[in-house]
Structure 1
Amino acid sequence: MTETFPERGRSTIAAPAAPALSSAQRASRVGRGLCRAVLGVGRLVLPVDCAGCGAPDVPLCPACAAPLRAPPRRREDAAPRLDTMDGRMPLPVWAPAQYVGPVREIVVSWKDRGRADLGRHLADAIAAAARQVAPALEAWDQSTPLLVVPAPSSATARWRRGEDLVGRLGAVTAQALEPRLPGTRSTRALRRRWGGHDQVGLGARSRGANLAGQVAVRRAARLQVGGQPVLLVDDVLTTGATLAACERALSAAGAVVVGALVLAATPPPGRRSGGTGT
C-alpha cells in the first residue's frame, strides 16, 4: 500500500561557512583514520567475537543479525522531538529493528569501538530495508528524482571514527533504491556547524538544544536540493532531534522531506527492557 506525506515548510537557518582546518586538526583526522585502519586490518588476522552476543569466531552471528534484516516498520511515534506540535503529522521514519540489546551493542561497536568489520553487515541491512520501503516512496512524481541525504556527523565524531559512517549508509541506500526509483542518488547536502557537540549521552531536551541552528545545508548544495523530494538516512532514531534539525534545514532550502530510514529506533518508554524484537 502506497503512503503519501504532506509537504512541509520551515524558516530559514543561517549557515556560515566552517573555518578551515588547522594543521593540528588535519593531523588528528589522519591519525584517527590510520588507527581505525590498523584496527580493521588487525581484525582480519585475529579472532573476533560477535558484536551482539560475544559468540566466538564470527563478527555477527545469525541470531544477532536477524532483527536488522527484519521488515522495516514505522517508528516515529517513539520520537518526541519529531512532533512539530502544530497539528501536522511527524516525519515518517522506518527502521527494521529496535535499538536495544544486541542491536545496540552492534551499532555502538561499529561507530565507537573500531569494529569496521561490521560495516558490510550494516550496509546490507540498510539496503534490504530501503528496497522494502521503496513502494511507499513511489507516490512522488518520478519526473523529480529522489535525493538520499545522510544526517551529518559532528567533526569530532568524524575524527574519532576516521570516516563518515552515516554517509556510507546514505550511499548504500541510494544504490538500493535506484532500480525501483530511477535517478535516485545520495548527496551529503547537510553539515554540522562548528561548536556543536556529539549527541551521545544527551536527553531529549538537551539533544534539541544542542542541535538548535547547528545543522545547515551546504552552500554548494542549496540549488541542488531545492524542489527535490528527500529521504533522510541515519543510523539510530532516539528522540528525533537530529532528523528534525535536518528536516528544518532542508525545508528552508526548498526541499520536500518525505521520510527517513534508520537502522534502529529506540522503543517507546515501557518497552525498552525487551530483546531485539522488531
Structure 2
Amino acid sequence: MVRRRGDARPLGRAAGWARELARLVVPVACAGCGLPDVRCCPACAAPLAGVPRRVEDAAPRLDRLDGVEPLPVWALAPYAGEVRELVVGWKDRGRVDLDRLLVPAVRRAAGAVAGPVAAAARGAPVLVVPAPSTAAARRARGREHVVVLAGAVAQGLRDAGVPAHVVRALGRRGHSRDQVGLGARARGRNLATGVVVHRRASAEVASGAVCLLVDDVVTTGATLASAERALEAAQAEVVAALVVAATPPPGRPATPVEAATPSVYPGHREGLA
C-alpha cells in the first residue's frame, strides 16, 4: 500500500504499539503519586469517586454576556495535585491503562447528573459531543481520548434511562493549536472561530438536537464556549457539559466548589439546577 503524503495514521498506530510494549517491560506506578506496583492508589483515585460539582462560575469564557446564564458544567474533581498528574499521565504520557479508572468514574458521574440533563432535554434523546482535539494532538496520542470519555458519558446516561449516543460532531479549523500552556486571552483567541461542526454531522445536530458536551479539563471555558457557539450556529441546543476536572480559580484552594442550590435558569438552561 502506498501511504499518502501527510498521512500519519501508521505513525499513530506505531506510537500506540510502543506504549503497549513499554507497559510490558516497565514497572507500573501510580500515575498520581508514583507509588509502585499500582495503576492508581486509593488515595489518588478517591477524588474521582465523589459527586460531580458545578464549576461554570470559575470559567470566565463561559460568560455569554447576553443575559443567558453560563453553560452548566459539572466536574468530578479539581485539576490540581494528584488529579492533575493522573489526567496528564492518561492523555499525554501514554497511560491508556487509566481508562480503567476514568471510564467508570465518568460513567458514574453521568448517571449522577442524568436527572437535570433529562429535564433540560424534555424527553428528547441526548447527543453526547466530545470536544475536538487538534490533528497534531491526535497524532501524538494515537487516539482521540475525549471520545473515550464521551462513550462513558453516553453509557452512564443510558444506565439512568436517558436515551443518549455519541456524535463526533466537532472539529478544529485552520491553525488553532492545542490549548495546553496558553493563558486565558490566548485560549480565547485560539478558539474564537476554531471549532466547527463537521459537514457529515450537520444534519444530526440541526433542528434543535439536544447536546451534552464532554471534555477532559475545563480551565477558562474557551473550548466549551467555542463548541457551544458552533453547535448553536448549527441549530442544536447545548444544555450542559461534563468534564473530569476543573482548574481552580487563582487564589482559591483546590477543593470542589459547592453544588449549585436548586433553582430554575432562564431560557435553554431550564431544569439544570
State whether TM-score is above 0.5. Answer: yes
The equivalent residue for 1:120 is: 100
1:160 alignment partner, one of 123, 128, 140: 140
Tell me how far apart the structure 1 counterparts of residues 187 and 10 of structure 2 sit (CA, whole Å): 29
1:91 alignment partner, one of 71, 80, 86: 71
Compared CA separation, residues 132 and 224, structure 1 to 2 (3 A): same
How far is 1:70 from its partner?
1.1
- 2:95 alignment partner AA: R
Tell me how far apart the structure 2 counterparts of residues 245 and 150 of structure 1 sit (CA, whole Å): 13
Compared CA separation, residues 141 and 159, structure 1 to 2 (3 A): closer
Tell me how far apart the structure 2 counterparts of residues 205 and 141 of structure 1 sit (CA, whole Å): 33
The equivalent residue for 2:217 is: 236
Tell me how far apart the structure 2 counterparts of residues 156 and 205 of structure 1 sit (CA, whole Å): 22
Tell me how far apart the structure 2 counterparts of residues 141 and 52 of structure 1 sit (CA, whole Å): 36
Off by >4 Å, runs of 4+ in structure 1: none
How far is 1:168 from its partner?
1.2
- 1:235 alignment partner AA: D
Taking every aligned residue pair, what percent have the same amino acid on both sides?
56
- CA-based RMSD of the aligned residues comes to 1.6
Q: What SS is found at the alignment partner of 2:120?
A: coil
How far is 1:32 from its partner?
2.9
Q: What SS is found at the alignment partner of 2:196?
A: strand
Greater displacement, 42-51 / 244-253? 42-51
2:239 alignment partner, one of 254, 258, 265: 258
Higher relative contact order (CA 8 A, sep 6+): 1
Tell me how far apart the structure 2 counterparts of residues 179 and 223 of structure 1 sit (CA, whole Å): 27
- 1:66 alignment partner AA: A
Greater displacement, 41-50 / 125-134? 41-50
Q: What SS is found at the alignment partner of 2:39?
A: coil
Tell me how far apart the structure 1 counterparts of residues 134 and 200 of structure 2 sit (CA, whole Å): 19
2:196 alignment partner, one of 203, 210, 216: 216
How far is 1:228 from its partner?
1.0
- 2:220 alignment partner AA: T
| Counterpart contact for 1:126–1:169, Cα < 8 Å | yes
| Structure 2 residues without counterparts, runs of 5 or longer | 258-273
Tell me how far apart the structure 2 counterparts of residues 277 and 90 of structure 1 sit (CA, whole Å): 18
Instruction: Confirm or deny that 1:31 pairs with 2:36.
Output: no
Tell me how far apart the structure 1 counterparts of residues 27 and 188 of structure 2 sit (CA, whole Å): 41
Q: What SS is found at the alignment partner of 1:140?
A: helix
1:196 alignment partner, one of 176, 179, 187: 176
Compared CA separation, residues 228 and 60, structure 1 to 2 (3 A): same
- 2:29 alignment partner AA: D
How far is 1:124 from its partner?
1.3
How far is 1:153 from its partner?
0.4
Tell me how far apart the structure 2 counterparts of residues 24 and 157 of structure 1 sit (CA, whole Å): 18
What TM-score, normalized to structure 2? Answer: 0.88
The equivalent residue for 1:77 is: 57
Q: Deviations over 1:87-120 (max 9, x none)?
A: 2211000001000000001111111111111122
Tell me how far apart the structure 2 counterparts of residues 158 and 141 of structure 1 sit (CA, whole Å): 31
- 1:88 alignment partner AA: V
Tell me how far apart the structure 1 counterparts of residues 121 and 64 of structure 2 sit (CA, whole Å): 26
**What aligned pairs does 1:7-26 form with structure 2 within 5 A after superposition?**
23-26=4-7
